[in-house]
């Protein structure tokens, strides 16, 4: 009987780990002190905060190269916020070092 309970507990743990989506809310009726709560508590999983707009002057418009930028600030915005940019050859987070951000 103990082996069956252990097997079920391991199976449940594996099921939780691999099959449950990390985006779904967590429902628990166990309090922070380990006791049972009368009402279940629903919590949302931790997620990264949404990126904040660096400047409203810029928007992702398809430009990807340094030659298409007009300033270091603009190149930095594009590198941090827009997909597919090709402005950081060294991978150090500083775009257009030869043209704008030197």
Closest to 90 measured CA to CA, from 102, 82, 81, 73: 102
pLDDT surpasses 60 at 7: yes
Q: Please enumerate in sequence order all residues whose Cβ is within 8 A of that of 22, keeping only pairs 6 or more positions apart, or say none.
A: 45
pTM of the model: 0.46
Q: Which single residue is written with the structure tokens 């600030």?
A: 73
Contact 100, 71 (CB under 8 A): yes
pLDDT at 26 (0 to 100): 57
pLDDT at residue 2 in the model: 81
User: Domain boundaries in the chain?
Assistant: 56-102
User: How much is the average pLDDT of 14-27?
Assistant: 59
Is the pLDDT assigned to residue 12 strictly greater than 70?
Answer: yes
């Amino acid at each position: 009987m103990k082996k069956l309970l252990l097997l079920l507990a391991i199976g449940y743990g594996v099921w939780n780990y691999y099959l449950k989506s990390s985006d779904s809310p967590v429902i628990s009726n166990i309090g922070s002190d380990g006791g049972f709560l009368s009402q279940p508590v629903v919590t949302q999983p931790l997620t990264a905060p949404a990126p904040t707009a660096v400047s409203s002057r810029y928007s992702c418009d398809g430009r990807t190269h340094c030659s298409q930028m007009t300033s270091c600030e603009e190149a930095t915005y594009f590198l941090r916020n827009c997909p597919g940019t090709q402005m950081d050859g060294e991978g150090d987070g500083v775009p257009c070092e030869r043209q704008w951000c030197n």
